[in-house]
With several copies, the nearest count.
Chain A
């Protein structure tokens, strides 16, 4: 048995091969070290890591429900404060638990200003239950509850802007990251842990099973999301964007066409109109966050 003492997240967990969320678990514990208490919401991560009695977590870990990790974390933080203990408190949940069903507890905990870090591993749908749409599902992605079909082009709502929403709650530190850039993930989590008050880090965690690509491409897909501007890596401090990952942008097709969830945009024939809408989302992101790397040449943003 791999008794690897530096590795706080154990092998033997049940994630799909190539799971982005599993990598989040590992990076998270790398950032926190052992003096942490993790509160996990129901979802893939909880399910693949904690069938009784085989927990993969070597730090204190608790799961209660799908909707309440922020509230459980609030209670832990209060107890630690009362007991004079110094562990950091981290709540982690998937996008479903974070964007949707957990919003009540999340909004409440941020409003109250507890000192904890909330991590959302964002695989852009409810994966554990079989790939249903969440508030984080991108525009036009086909899921089992937003299927592409004769009268549907997939999910018809834009991705909810949770970082902005939590920044509007007065969160001192809000950041986005991607497992495609592991050290950036670790750095941002560390920064969140060391910032007093409720902090939020949303980590893009591609899901081979749910998005429809081969497991080996997990990081590659994550990179493409950033390179096309459909995912922006940034930091916000006290509501102000302070750091953005700049890129030389690629057209969104290069990201979309790699994934089954967008296949209906290409087959039976290319749906240029919808792809243009998605391109517009990327363009808006780029503009809003100023992600475009100005090349030395004066040709402007490299959007074809």
Chain B
């Protein structure tokens, strides 16, 4: 691998850093309560909440740091944080 001249790089490698390993708590999404408002996706600092095929929102565990913002901000209280057993 050659170095990127001047310490430059193309996008695409940030994902190598799997920040999911930082997580202590894990957001659990309750699709029964979810109104699909999309707030969680908007405000997740990791940008790791995706819309699934059925319009529900799910966190990408590879990157979710378990910060709990989504749970705190979900207007429908559809998300709860649980201590994770890895």
Chain A contacts to B: CB under 8 angstroms? 1-4, 7, 9-15, 17-20, 22-23, 26, 49, 52-58, 179, 182-183, 214-220
Q: A11-B47, A11-B48 are in contact. Are A55 and B67 (CB under 8 A)?
A: no
A15 to chain B: which residues have CB within 8 Å?
45
Measured CB to CB, the closest approach of chain A to B6, in angstroms, equals 10
Are A12 and B45 neighbours in the complex by a CB distance under 8 Å? no
Q: Is B18 an interface residue (CB 8 A)?
A: yes
Distance in angstroms between the alpha carbons of A14 and B17 in the assembled complex: 8
Which label, helix, strand, loop or mixed, suits the secondary structure of the B interface? loop
Are B9 and A56 neighbours in the complex by a CB distance under 8 Å? no
Are B68 and A182 neighbours in the complex by a CB distance under 8 Å? no
Are A182 and B42 neighbours in the complex by a CB distance under 8 Å? yes
Q: Is B63 an interface residue (CB 8 A)?
A: yes
Are B11 and A11 neighbours in the complex by a CB distance under 8 Å? no
Distance in angstroms between the alpha carbons of A49 and B13 in the assembled complex: 11
Within 8 A of A (CB), among B25-81: 42-48, 50, 60, 62-63, 65-69, 71-73, 81
Are A18 and B69 neighbours in the complex by a CB distance under 8 Å? yes
Are A23 and B68 neighbours in the complex by a CB distance under 8 Å? no
Q: List 22 A-B contacts (CB under 8 A).
A: A2-B15, A4-B50, A10-B14, A11-B46, A11-B47, A11-B48, A11-B60, A13-B19, A14-B17, A17-B65, A18-B69, A20-B45, A22-B45, A52-B9, A54-B13, A54-B14, A55-B10, A56-B14, A215-B69, A216-B71, A218-B69, A219-B43
